[in-house]
């Protein structure tokens, strides 16, 4: 049975999840305030630019005097700098909170241990690392972005039982079942960008939108080195923010930016650097085999999600091949199986 500390921190992690899709590019943060083993206040970071989790949790405590004898659980180190809101470390100190338990230290350079240092300097008892692995998984996009200086990359494709992801000559084939398609639209709302290569854009003419699930629309990202896409394609319709990575001269029009790449054998470092500068913390990669294999071979990926259908094509474009390492789970999604890998 879990002790009270772990139970309260797990509650804070559950609360943090409620900010999914709304807090970014800030991390997901939850906070629980306890007094003598009982929760007296709780909150989470509900909206980017809005009050942080600690602010909401402390404000939820009816008797503010109880804060002077409270124990606060927070999933990420309280901030120590003035951003869109005042420092949460200062608020905890001002309220007289004597004990703070933190899941993860913040990798963001303006925090990075300073919140903990400020709390301890004020006499607050601080504990760190409780359920740290769960906390890192919760904010894996945030941690990867700040630690690796690139977006968190989720590679996704659908393949047949005999290992193909398209017909001959890249002919589009409906491989995954309707339930898998719906889940894909949900995933699109969870990432800030969605990336495809030239062949996928040309042959599939995708919209790359989350039409079938409520939530934020991702920024569409297309590698089109020689501007092969015809102007009638959906990706150039201006319906949502779109970046085209190309060797050609850059230009801008409504909801569309061309980003110039220098001609090189490996374009991905340039694309990743540009996305980092644009503060795009996570990308769902739905590209064809060229883009997918380039990222896999370079080891530049964080998750891979593969829908495997019972259908067979006999011939076609081969899906990327993976080793057995990193398999996190296998589950049924409609008539398909979903294989979920994590880069270790």
List the catalytic residues: 54
Other residues' Cβ atoms within 10 Å of the Cβ of residue 207: 14
Question: Residue 303: beta bridge partners?
Answer: 154, 342
Q: How far is CA 241 from the centre of its chain?
A: 18
Residue recorded with tokens 């879990």? 2
Helices (H), 195-248: 198-204
User: Which value, in Å, is the radius of gyration of the alpha carbons in the chain?
Assistant: 23
C-alpha to C-alpha distance for 192 and 46, rounded to whole angstroms? 17
Left (φ > 0), alpha (ψ -120 to 50) or beta: where does 36 sit? left
Mapped onto helix, strand or coil, the DSSP state of residue 317 is: strand
Residue recorded with tokens 């990743």? 272
Q: Which of 189, 187, 153, 188 is nearest to 281 (CA)?
A: 153
Q: Which residues contact 174 (CB under 8 A, 6 or more apart)?
A: none
CB 87 within 8 A of CB 79: yes
């Amino acid at each position: 049975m879990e002790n009270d500390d772990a139970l309260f921190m797990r509650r804070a992690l559950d609360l943090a999840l409620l900010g999914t899709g709304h807090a970014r590019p800030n991390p997901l943060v939850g906070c629980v305030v306890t007094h003598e083993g009982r929760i007296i206040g709780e909150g989470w970071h509900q909206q980017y630019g809005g009050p942080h989790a600690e602010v909401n949790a402390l404000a939820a405590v009816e008797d503010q005097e109880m804060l002077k004898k409270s124990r606060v659980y927070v999933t990420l180190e309280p901030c120590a700098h003035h951003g869109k809101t005042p420092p949460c470390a200062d608020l905890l100190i001002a309220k007289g909170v004597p004990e703070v338990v933190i899941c993860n230290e913040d990798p963001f350079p303006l925090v990075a241990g300073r919140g903990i240092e400020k709390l301890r300097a004020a006499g607050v008892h601080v504990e760190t690392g409780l359920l740290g692995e769960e906390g890192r998984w919760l904010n894996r996009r945030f941690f990867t972005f700040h630690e690796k200086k690139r977006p968190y990359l989720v590679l996704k494709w659908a393949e047949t039982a005999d290992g193909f992801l398209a017909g001959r000559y890249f002919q589009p084939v409906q491989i995954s079942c309707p339930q898998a398609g719906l889940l894909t639209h949900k995933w699109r709302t969870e990432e800030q960008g969605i990336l495809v290569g030239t062949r996928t854009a040309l042959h599939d003419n995708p919209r790359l939108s989350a039409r079938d699930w409520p939530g934020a629309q991702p920024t569409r990202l297309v590698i089109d080195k020689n501007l092969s896409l015809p102007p009638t394609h959906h990706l150039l319709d201006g319906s949502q923010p779109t970046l085209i990575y190309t060797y050609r001269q850059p230009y801008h029009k409504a909801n569309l930016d061309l980003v110039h790449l220098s001609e090189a054998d490996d374009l991905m470092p340039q694309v990743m650097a540009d996305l980092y500068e644009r503060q795009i913390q996570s990308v769902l990669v739905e590209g064809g085999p060229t883009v997918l294999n380039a990222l896999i071979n370079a080891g530049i990926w964080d998750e891979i999600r593969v829908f495997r259908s019972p259908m067979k094509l006999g011939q076609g474009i081969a899906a990327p091949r993976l080793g057995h390492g990193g398999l996190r789970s296998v589950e049924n999604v409609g008539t398909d199986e979903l294989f979920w890998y994590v880069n270790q």
